[in-house]
Each structure stands twice: as structure tokens, then as C-alpha cells.
Chain A
């Protein structure tokens, strides 16, 4: 449907009933803005991401490869996230925080932090969970770099942590189907 004031597609559709008489209003984005009707109140993350491309600082254009933030844990680049809208691992939230924070805030109507349920085990064990994630990451790095003594120390440290369903002590090496 076209805007009633021009040929552009209408994005706002209103039906007004006054004194039993029905009037329809169809406006494009420009005329809706002129009439004071907000058009986009909530933006999906992909739309926000595409806008981010357009508002990147001019300096970023000169050396896109070097300026590209990359997650050191999973290897995801921010450009890859911008294309897919999907992060690679929990650490991406910290590593991309500067770019991601404003996007999350917009996608969640201005919210900046979590309210509500906290997982039972994380309530008292959140720091432990973070420590475990860090040790697992360092262990992987040590193995990849063939630093076996360091890897053994990290493994021993992990084994001393309280039992967890996700710890490498119970997880690694066990592969099975559904």
C-alpha cells in the first residue's frame, strides 16, 4: 500500500473511528515522521548491526584488518558477528563489550543489565565458573603450544576444583550420540 501523501510504500497504518465514521491513514516513513508518529521503536539486532556498518568511524576504513576486534577464545571476529548476528562463545561478550554493549542496549529497549533468575550453581559459584572457564582456555592454549608441564599444572588445578557437570574432568573424551 502507498502513502496517502506520496508514492512511497506506507509503513504506518492507522484506522480511526470518530462519531461512527471510519477513516484510514496510511503514511510512509517521511510523512509519518512529519506527523509525529514514531515508526521504528524496536530494532532487531541485524538491523542495528547493518546501521553500525554505516556509522563506523572514518579512521576504521583505512586499516580494516588490523582494527578488527577478534575473540581470543573462539577466534570469532566482530565482522563475522556483524554478518551472522551470532557470537562464538561466552567470552565474546567481554571481548566485544565496547561494540556490543550499545547494540544490546538498543535491542533490549535500553536495558543494561540482567534482572531475574540466577542459576543455582552460579549464585554462589559464579567466580568458580569463571575460573574454570579461564583454566580450560589456558589448558587448551598450553596443549596447542606443546607446553606440557604447564598443561599438567593447569589440569591438576582443574581437578582440585569442586565437582562440576561441565568440567573437563567429566567431559573430555566422552563422545556419544543421542
Chain B
């Protein structure tokens, strides 16, 4: 598997990156004439992979597109792809024929035989939902030019789970909301999100925790709304409002500068001194210093370093960087060393 040591979100921060880490658009599509993945035979799943491979995705994903057959990938490689947000946990953990095509810049991935035959994903740094949707549509058009997809006049794009039926699209933003968490306002945001029919999830999407104060906010309604309606809702109302709430909460924290600085410098102190560090603690403390860097209160810390550490502290990335199979304690030691060296 040919993947760069770092992901696409490392070199570029993107717009509104003090709060928005990344923007993602995901489309769910199924090929006509086949049962959905859970009822498809092994032969049919191979057929779906074969048909998608012949579409010529390289023309939209770019020359050098990487194809990964997940039946042949090692568990470490699969975990690396999850940490890089290129595949879902469900695709990583499956045990039937499934694959992913990844664009050379790692901004586009096409998962085959996840819950639906196709899950097209575009992931861009910062708030770039409009660009992400436009790219996702280009890939979708390329697929639909060559293959018939399951579609009904009434229900729209037919998906294995009826929660995705309709336009089959999920827009989401990964938000860093440490100040809303510290001020206890995050529950209010969750409730407001619920009223707006939005899902608020953790760092790795469905079923994951909000490690490092990172929250993924996405639409839940996909029927009766067009792609452009959703884009407008997100770009005009939802995302600007969430960014504004977090920035207000940050200003509130700055009204008690000593308390805030104490928290930031304590985090910095532990990161610069610890000899063993688990992933949850690393994420929590890196989140703190990311806040400090965004507010200009930790002048020694640059955001690129924090972005790199947030990625490379993940277990599979750490294993890859160390070049050897490490046990849990060795991983904690390697993580602490890597962070300490990067921050001192």
C-alpha cells in the first residue's frame, strides 16, 4: 500500500481552521441490478468491485490512484486508513470482498462494498464544504455515466439503510470545540444540533467518543432536501453559528486569563515531560495546546506541529513511524517521546 507518511490535512489548514479541522462530503450509491451488500453473494460483491474498477475513476481521482483490496491488507494498514479518515471502521472490520480507491492527494476515496456498494468521500482541510461537494459530484457523475445506480422517482437514491435514502448525501465538519466543552456549553450545542436534525459524533464518526474535544457534525435528513439545500444550510447557518459559539466561548475563557493559561501550560508541561502517554490523554492535552496556539497564548507552539502530532500519535501511524511491532507499553513510551521531542 503506497501512502504518504502524512495525510492531506497536514500541510494546509484551510479556512476557519481555528475551529474547523476538516470538511467532508460523502455520497451513498448502489448499482442497479444487484442486491444491497448485506444480501449480495461473494460473487456479486466481486462483480461490483470489478464494475467500479472498469469505470476509470483515475480520470477524476487522478493518475496514481491507489487501489486497496481490503481482503489482502493487513490489520495495521486498515487501521492506518481509518486513522487517516480514508475508510470507515465498518469497511476496515468487514470480512467479505471490499476495496477502496484513494486519490493521490488523499482527498477523495471511494469505498466499495461498505454498507452500500459505493461510498464516495471527499475530505478537505478547514471549511471547504462547497468545494468538497463539487468534487464529490464530479466523481459521482463519472460513475453514473458508466454505471446504472439504484434510483426511484419517489425515494431518490436507494440505500441499504433508509436513513440515507433520498439524495444519499452526508455533509459533515470536524470541529474543535474545547472552549464550549470547558464552559459546559457543549450540551446546549448538542441540543441545538438535535433540533436542527444534525448528528453530533466523535472523532471517528458513528459510535466514537469526542476525543480531544473534536466533534463531527453532520446532517441526518437526506430525503426531501437537495444537495444544494443542505450545502446552503451548512455554509450559511449551521457552521458559521457553531464557529461563532466556540469563538465566543474562547473569548469568555480569556476573561479569566490566569485560569486559562494555567490549563494551557499544565497541558504543555505534561506533554513536554511525560514518559508514557496513552492516546486519550495525548488527544486531550494536544487539544488544549491547539486552543492555546489558536489564541496566541502559547507562542512556541505552531499549529502544523499540533496537526502532525494529532495524526501521528494514533496507534497505526505510530507503529508505522517506529517501523516495528510495538506492544501497548512500548507504544505509550514511543508516543510520549515523539511528542516531547516535537514540543521541546
Count of B interface residues, CB-CB < 8 Å: 72
Minimum distance in angstroms from B234 CB to a CB of chain A: 15
CB-nearest residue of chain A relative to B69? Answer: A178
With a CB–CB cut-off of 8 A, which chain A residues contact B51?
165-166, 170-171
Majority secondary structure of chain A interface residues (helix, strand, loop or mixed): loop
CA of A176 to CA of B221 in the docked complex: distance in angstroms?
36
Separation of A114 and B158 alpha carbons in the complex (Å): 10
Question: Which A122-148 residues have C-beta < 8 A from chain B?
Answer: 122, 125-126, 129, 132-133, 136
Contact A108 B53 (CB under 8 A): no
> How long is the Cα–Cα vector from A94 to B150 in the complex, in angstroms?
13
Residues of A with C-beta under 8 A to B50: 174-176
Contact between B33 and A167, CB atoms less than 8 A apart: yes
Complex contact A166–B147 (CB within 8 A): yes
Complex Cα spacing A41 to B198, Å: 11
Q: Which residues of chain A have C-beta atoms less than 8 A from B154's C-beta?
A: 113-114
**Cβ–Cβ < 8 Å partners of A104 in chain B:** 155, 162, 165, 223
| Complex Cα–Cα for A55 and B9 (A) | 48
Q: Which of A14, A119, A133 has the most CB of B within 10 A?
A: A119
A93 in contact with B145 given A45-B162, A115-B224 (CB within 8 Å): no
Q: How far is it, in angstroms, between the C-alpha of A168 and the C-alpha of B140 when the chains are bound?
A: 22
If the complex has contacts A90-B150, A122-B151, are A113 and B223 also in contact, measured as CB distance less than 8 A? Answer: yes
B195 touches A41 (CB 8 A): yes
Q: Is A118 an interface residue (CB 8 A)?
A: yes
Measured CA separation A9–B72 after assembly (Å): 47
CA distance A108 to B155 in the complex (A): 11
> CB within 8 A of B221: which of A15, A90, A111, A136?
A111
With beta carbons under 8 angstroms apart, the residue of A93, A107, A116 that contacts B167 is A116
> Who on chain B is nearest to A73 by CB?
B35
Q: Which residues of A contact B55 (CB under 8 A)?
A: 165
Closest residue to B49 on the A side, CB-wise? A178
In the complex, the answer to whether A41 meets B145 with C-beta atoms within 8 Å is: no
* 18 CB-based A-B contacts, threshold 8 Å: A13-B191, A74-B36, A74-B39, A86-B115, A114-B154, A114-B156, A117-B140, A117-B167, A121-B148, A133-B33, A165-B31, A165-B55, A171-B33, A175-B47, A176-B49, A177-B49, A178-B68, A178-B99
Beyond the given pairs A119-B148, A178-B97, 12 more chain A to chain B contacts, judged by CB atoms under 8 angstroms and listed by A's residue number, are A45-B161, A86-B115, A86-B160, A87-B36, A90-B36, A108-B223, A114-B157, A116-B166, A119-B157, A122-B151, A165-B31, A177-B71
